[in-house]
């Protein structure tokens, strides 16, 4: 745990973190899926990923929109409204 | 898709799905699966913790020496279409209106002279509008001038276009290797409902005819150089759009809905109802069968990656401002007047310089700091803080530039999107870890196009 101002929560939070990390319910992602924060600039979106700069299309989108359609369609449904 | 027993707290989200429950918590940025009663207790303890990390800007500022990759030029504000959902239509009273204004060659030259030296060997010039094909003369001048002025640079050219007038310029487009970002909404009846000429004429047939002519002139060019953007104004149309693009070979990069921010005259939309969950199931089925999900990638890939590839630190005080590019570095948008903006998606908002004065670093720095503050203020009490990566354009304020209120308007939708991704990831992972891992690593358009 990084140094964090726990404002009097130290013992309780440390026990919780220990429980979270050892809980049988924890889902263990594979090592190759995890990213190393220190060596990674950003998990990234296609429009600024340096590897994609030449081949991912540039400029698509503004005339229409910025909202992925599935979100617009399902937000209310998920929220159970 | 309906998730049962959904409880969204400030540090975690819990829901039940089929035979088990899923808990995601941001303290250790981890997903838990198991019985509801056990996870309920865990969530209660998690929610008692006061954890509000802030967003730091130093990681982003490390990119300040990055070379320019893409220069966008707003060639014209004119357009020959009158699309019902266009942000420059009367339905968006706070956006710029369409005018007959063109960029002058003098402005374009100054932009090229001032900005191309900021690139390394390779640089893309993107022509934007309005409809850039209405000012092909200027595009021709800029391509020639750039190559002449900077003979050592390797230029790529792209154009964001409705492609309606492309038949006049096919040879020129292909011979210059231009990448085309083409707006095609889906099958004829859906496309023609919104995308019509100024005179109200349908446009689908002419665009398809132009694509055919490109293919006749240069077989394979459509596959390698043309990218499709689909805008869906009616959620009920999604399944038909998916079917259409699933059955043809066009490379679709975005399926978007019209921007709800600042839009007036919002018509009542027919909801998607049960189709969303069917698409999600089909996406998972294809991955587990070793098939390419094709167009379904556009609905689910990016968020699946955000949920799967997570920062493993426990309760860091500061988070990276992920999702945001460095304004005015990798890409710059130059409007018809010669003013600089961070991104074409942001339109004329947020001036960060001009062809006369160059990029104003103080404005760039202010922008980054303001955006980090907006995210720190808004996201501290949200469970999705560590897996959500909005960029500046998501904070667009319909009546101003960018703001906390602007970003907050995207929150409900984004959280729903991440819940879908969480559900997809846990289902996939549970079914086949190896296939899931391989798939996550393939979420990259270059893989899709077999280019790496």
Buried b (16+ CB within 10 A) or exposed e, B167-189: eebbeebeebebbbbbbbbbbee
| pLDDT average, residue stretch B330-351 | 89
Q: What is the pLDDT of residues B261-306, one digit of tens each?
A: 777 766 655 555 555 667 888 999 999 999 989 889 888 888 898 8
B199: exposed, middle or buried (C-beta count within 10 Å: 0-12, 13-18, 19+)?
Answer: exposed
Split at pLDDT 50, 70, 90, the class of A75 is very low
Distance, in Å, from the CA atom of B429 to the CA atom of A28, rounded to the nearest integer, reads 10
* pLDDT of B180 over the 60 cut: yes
DSSP secondary structure letters along A13-72: HHHHHHHHHH-TTB----TTTSB-GGG-S-S--TTT-GGGTTTS-SSTTTTT-SEEHHHH
The values of phi and psi at residue B127, to 5°, are -100, 130
Residue B343: predicted pLDDT: 84
The values of phi and psi at residue B231, to 5°, are -115, 125
* pLDDT of A35 over the 70 cut: no
Q: What is the pLDDT of residues B73-87, one digit of tens each?
A: 999 999 999 998 888
Distances, alpha carbon B426 to alpha carbons A76, B162, B421, B429, B432, in Å: 22, 39, 9, 5, 10
**pLDDT, chain B, mean:** 89
B157 beta partners: B125
Residue B133: predicted pLDDT: 97
Closest CA to B178 of B165, B159, B198, B150: B159
Contact residues for B367 (Cβ-Cβ < 8 A; gap 6+):
B327, B342, B350, B352, B392
Give the pairing of strands B179-183 and B54-56: unpaired
* C-beta of residue B99 within 8 angstroms of C-beta of residue B55: no
Chain B contact for A38 (CB, 8 A cutoff): no
* Better-scored residue on pLDDT, B143 or A64: B143
Distances, alpha carbon B225 to alpha carbons B118, B156, B182, B203, B273, in Å: 26, 11, 10, 21, 35
Q: What is the pLDDT of residues A50-74, one digit of tens each?
A: 443 333 443 333 333 344 555 544 4
* Better-scored residue on pLDDT, B97 or B113: B113
Chain B contact for A24 (CB, 8 A cutoff): yes
At residue B205's C-alpha, the angle toward residues B204 and B209, to 5°, is 120
| Interface touch A45/B391, C-beta < 8 Å | yes
| Interface touch B441/A32, C-beta < 8 Å | yes
| Interface touch A64/B63, C-beta < 8 Å | no
Chain A contact for B201 (CB, 8 A cutoff): no
Instruction: Kindly state the helix (H) or strand (E) to which residue B180 belongs, with its residue range.
Output: strand B179-183
Distance, in Å, from the CA atom of B442 to the CA atom of A32, rounded to the nearest integer, reads 12
| pLDDT average, residue stretch A7-15 | 78
Nearest to A52 among B59, B314, B445 (CB): B445
Residue B412: predicted pLDDT: 86
Residue A42: predicted pLDDT: 47
Distance, in Å, from the CA atom of B368 to the CA atom of B45, rounded to the nearest integer, reads 35
* Better-scored residue on pLDDT, A81 or B269: B269
Percent of chain B with pLDDT over 90: 58
Q: What is the pLDDT of residues B156-177, one digit of tens each?
A: 899 999 999 999 999 999 999 9
Residue B143: predicted pLDDT: 98
* C-beta of residue B72 within 8 angstroms of C-beta of residue B334: yes
B139: exposed, middle or buried (C-beta count within 10 Å: 0-12, 13-18, 19+)?
Answer: buried
* pLDDT of A49 over the 60 cut: no
Chain B stretch 111-140, residues whose beta carbon is closer than 8 A to a beta carbon of chain A: 122, 124, 126, 128
Contact residues for B400 (Cβ-Cβ < 8 A; gap 6+):
B406
Beta-carbon contacts below 8 Å between A and B: 282
| pLDDT average, residue stretch B15-30 | 92
Chain B contact for A20 (CB, 8 A cutoff): yes
Chain A contact for B3 (CB, 8 A cutoff): yes
* pLDDT of A76 over the 50 cut: no
Split at pLDDT 50, 70, 90, the class of B312 is confident
Instruction: Kindly state the helix (H) or strand (E) to which residue B157 belongs, with its residue range.
Output: strand B154-161
Give the least confident one: A4-18, B2-16, B408-422.
A4-18
Instruction: Kindly state the helix (H) or strand (E) to which residue B238 belongs, with its residue range.
Output: helix B238-246
* C-beta of residue B423 within 8 angstroms of C-beta of residue B1: yes
Contacts of A5 in chain B (CB under 8 A): 317
* pLDDT of B335 over the 90 cut: yes
* pLDDT of B21 over the 90 cut: yes
Closest CA to B146 of B179, B180, B119, B181: B119
| pLDDT average, residue stretch A6-18 | 80
Distance, in Å, from the CA atom of B287 to the CA atom of B141, rounded to the nearest integer, reads 47
């Amino acid at each position: 745990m990084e140094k964090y101002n726990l404002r009097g929560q130290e013992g309780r939070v440390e026990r919780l973190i220990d429980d979270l990390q050892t809980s049988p319910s924890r889902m263990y992602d594979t090592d190759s899926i995890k990213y190393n924060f220190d060596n990674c600039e950003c998990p990234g979106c296609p429009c600024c990923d340096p590897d994609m700069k030449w081949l991912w299309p540039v400029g698509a989108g503004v005339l229409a929109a910025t909202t992925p359609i599935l979100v617009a369609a399902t937000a209310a449904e998920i929220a159970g409204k | 898709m309906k998730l049962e027993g959904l409880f969204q707290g400030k540090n975690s989200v819990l829901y039940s799905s089929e035979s088990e429950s899923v808990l995601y918590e941001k303290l250790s940025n981890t997903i838990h699966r198991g019985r509801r009663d056990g996870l309920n207790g865990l969530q209660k303890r998690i929610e008692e913790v006061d954890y509000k990390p802030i967003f730091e800007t130093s990681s982003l500022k490390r990119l300040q020496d990055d070379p320019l990759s893409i220069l966008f030029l707003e060639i014209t504000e004119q357009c020959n279409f009158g699309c019902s959902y266009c942000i420059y239509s009367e339905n968006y009273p706070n956006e710029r209106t369409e005018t007959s204004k063109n960029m002058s060659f003098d402005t374009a030259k100054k932009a090229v002279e001032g900005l191309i030296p900021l690139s390394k060997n390779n640089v893309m010039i993107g022509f934007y509008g309005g409809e850039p094909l209405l000012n092909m003369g200027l595009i021709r001048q800029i391509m020639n001038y750039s190559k002449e002025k900077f003979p050592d640079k390797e230029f790529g050219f792209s154009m964001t276009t409705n492609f309606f007038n492309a038949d006049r310029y096919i040879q020129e487009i292909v011979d210059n290797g231009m990448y085309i970002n083409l707006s095609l909404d889906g099958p004829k009846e859906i496309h023609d409902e919104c995308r019509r000429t100024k005179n109200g004429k349908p446009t689908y047939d002419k665009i398809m005819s132009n694509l055919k002519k490109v293919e006749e002139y240069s077989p394979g060019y459509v596959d390698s150089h043309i990218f499709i953007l689909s805008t869906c104004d009616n959620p009920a149309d999604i399944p038909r759009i998916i079917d259409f693009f699933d059955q043809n070979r066009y490379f679709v990069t975005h399926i978007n809905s019209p921007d709800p921010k600042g839009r007036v005259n919002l018509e009542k939309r027919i909801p998607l109802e049960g189709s969303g969950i069917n698409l999600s199931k089909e996406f998972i089925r294809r991955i587990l069968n070793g098939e390419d999900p094709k167009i379904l990638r556009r609905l689910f890939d990016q968020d699946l990656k955000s949920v799967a590839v997570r920062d493993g630190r426990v309760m860091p005080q500061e988070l990276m401002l992920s999702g945001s590019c460095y304004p005015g570095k990798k890409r710059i948008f130059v409007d018809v007047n010669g003013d600089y903006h961070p991104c074409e998606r942001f339109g004329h908002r947020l001036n960060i310089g001009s062809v006369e004065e160059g990029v104003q670093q103080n404005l760039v720095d202010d922008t980054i700091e303001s955006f980090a503050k907006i995210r720190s203020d808004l996201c501290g009490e949200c469970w999705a803080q560590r897996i959500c990566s909005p960029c500046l354009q998501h904070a667009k304020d319909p009546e101003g530039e960018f703001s906390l209120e602007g970003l907050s308007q995207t929150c409900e939708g984004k959280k729903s999107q991440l819940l879908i991704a969480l559900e997809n990831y846990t289902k996939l992972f549970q079914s086949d870890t190896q296939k899931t891992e391989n798939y996550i690593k393939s979420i990259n358009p270059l893989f899709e196009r077999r280019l790496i």
